[in-house]
Structure formats: structure tokens, C-alpha cells
Amino acid sequence: MHLLSGAESNHGGSFGNLLGRSPDAAPQPIFAMQSGPRNTTAPTNGLADEPIHGTTVIAVKYKDGVINVGDRRATGGMAIMYDKAEKVLPLDDFTLMAISGSFSKAMEITRYLRHAFRYYERSQLQPMSLDGKLSELGKVISGNQMAAMQGIGLVIPILSTFDKESSEGRIFFYDGGGARFETAEFGAAGSGSTQIRGVFEYIQRSKGPFRDMDRDTALKEALLLLEIAADLDAATGGAGKVLPLAKTITREGIADVEEETLRTIVRDIIKTEPLLIGPQGY
């Protein structure tokens, strides 16, 4: 796994100093991609033997909360194993986790966290705090380091929530060791995330912060970013065949973006793409 930029960690350190930024500078998003050695001891003579991975997921803030989008492609080696994968998953009524990396391990983590949050609420008669939820996810990822180092269990999640105390949406990242980071505006994970790193900055500088956009404007920018990632990364599925996932989280909780809204925005994005180049190169 590679961290292409850093933000303040919950483990007491700051990447800002290492990157030449002021410690007081606004935290920047981390973009992570799946990499690392394959499990060379596993048989590779069949598609079923390949670990299944999912990419790419994106989270952006908007004026009412956070939007999460993700493509639907899951790959095993060079094969497309599934085109309807769910990569944006609710953990409770106000917490979403978008996943990239090992699909089976991500599902295991999701089931565990759902149970842990529910058990805490029922046993303590109050919901787990945001810091408690973030720490619980960090522990799970830290405990998964051995599988991640073997290249068969790496999971890079994005956790989004609506913080009622500060009345804003918040987005958090983790590295492979369980260190926690918070982004100011946006972020992405998965193999397609590195190719679109600069596009996020371009959108902010040319169209203003994501946090000031309404839902549909921010959604269109996020889906455009996802489509660009699909053009540049073979493991990321485009929107031409299967609609991507899109969920919002606000003060009212988690909601799915209406399918018709998704179709309209995707049609508009695809319609504005240039015509295919002919076999003679023109």
C-alpha cells in the first residue's frame, strides 16, 4: 500500500512535518492503492483461486453531509469476477464504510463492526461514541496486518459519518497499520484513486470547495471522477454497463441516491465524452 499524501494521525504523529507542511495546515486526504506481493503459495490455476478485490471508492463532502460513490467491479487477478459488488456499506444509522481491497476480508470486517456497535449500544444503553467507532475499526485493521503483508487481505476503508455535535459530515481514512486520518474535503481509495488525485484539486480550485456544493452538484463531480478512474484503471468499472453505488449521510441518516437521478447524471457524463477514435487513429 502506498500513501501518496498524509494528514494528521491519531497515533500522535503528523505526516505534515515530513512532507514539508506546517503542523497547523489543514489536513489533506490520503489516497491509497492496493499493492504488495501476491500469495505465492496459493494455487493460481483457476479463477476461483484468485483473491477477489474491489476498487474504486470516493467520498466527498457537500453542504448537507457526505456523499459516497463506488464502482461495482470486483476483480480476481486479470479477470472481472463480478460487476454488481456492494462497496459502500452502512455500519449503523449514521456511519458508512466504503471499501477497497480484499472483498472477503472487508465483508468480515463489516459484519464484525456492525455487531460490535450494536452490542455496545445494547449493553451500555447508549450509542458508541465516534472516537470509539474509529478506534474499533483501527484495531481491526491493525490486527489484519499479517494477511495484508501477504497480499491476500489488504483492506483500505473510508469511514464517513455525520457528526451531530459539530453539525457536519466527516471523512476518515486508515493505512494498513490501523493509523487514522481525517480529510478536510474529499478522498478516495483503491487502485483507481491515484490516477485522479489531481482532479480533486482542480475541481476545488476551479469550482470551489465540495462542502459548499448542493447534493446533485457534488454527486455529479464524484461520478465524473469515478468515470475518469475507470478510463485510467482496468480494475475500476465504468458506468456504461452497471450504475455505480451512491449513498449520502446527513443529519437525518443514511439514504440511497435515487436510481433515476443516477441515470440522468451518468447519461450526461457519458454524453459529453469524446467520440471513439477509429481504427486508423482518426
Question: Does pLDDT of 255 surpass 90?
Answer: yes
**Percentage of residues in the chain with pLDDT exceeding 90?**
48
If one compares 201 and 2, the residue with the highest pLDDT of the two is 201
Tell me the catalytic residues. 55
Structural domain boundaries in the chain: 2-39+49-271
HEC profile for 72-99?
A: CCEEECCEEEECCCCCEEEEECCEEEEE
pLDDT attached to residue 216:
96
Question: Does pLDDT of 279 surpass 60?
Answer: no
Mean pLDDT of 186-200: 90
CB atoms within 10 A of CB 5: 16
Mean pLDDT of 254-265: 95
Quick one: which H or E segment has residue 215?
helix 215-232
Averaging pLDDT over each range in 37-41, 49-53, 175-179, which range is the top one? 175-179
**Percentage of residues in the chain with pLDDT exceeding 70?**
77
If one compares 123 and 23, the residue with the highest pLDDT of the two is 123
pLDDT attached to residue 275:
53
pLDDT attached to residue 46:
44
Question: Does pLDDT of 274 surpass 70?
Answer: no
What is the C-alpha to C-alpha distance for residues 85 and 147, in angstroms, rounded to an integer? Answer: 22
pLDDT attached to residue 53:
76
273 pLDDT band (50/70/90 cuts)?
A: low
pLDDT attached to residue 200:
94
Mean pLDDT of 184-213: 92
Residue 106 sits at φ, ψ, to 5 deg, of -65, -40
What is the average pLDDT value for the chain, to the nearest integer? 80
CB atoms within 10 A of CB 188: 35
Cell of 227: 468515470
12 pLDDT band (50/70/90 cuts)?
A: very low
What is the C-alpha to C-alpha distance for residues 229 and 210, in angstroms, rounded to an integer? Answer: 19
How much is the CA Rg of the chain, to the nearest whole Å? 19
271 pLDDT band (50/70/90 cuts)?
A: confident
Q: Which residues pair with 33 in a beta bridge?
A: 2
Question: Does pLDDT of 115 surpass 90?
Answer: yes
Q: Has domain 2-39+49-271 been given CATH number 1.25.40.10?
A: no
pLDDT attached to residue 18:
28
- Where is average pLDDT lowest: 119-123, 124-128, 198-202, 240-244? 240-244
Residue 41 sits at φ, ψ, to 5 deg, of -85, -15
What is the C-alpha to C-alpha distance for residues 45 and 50, in angstroms, rounded to an integer? Answer: 9
pLDDT attached to residue 239:
81
Residues 6+ away with beta carbon under 8 Å from 168? 61, 65, 162, 211
Query: Tens of pLDDT along 148-167?
Result: 777 677 888 999 999 988 89
Cell of 277: 477514435
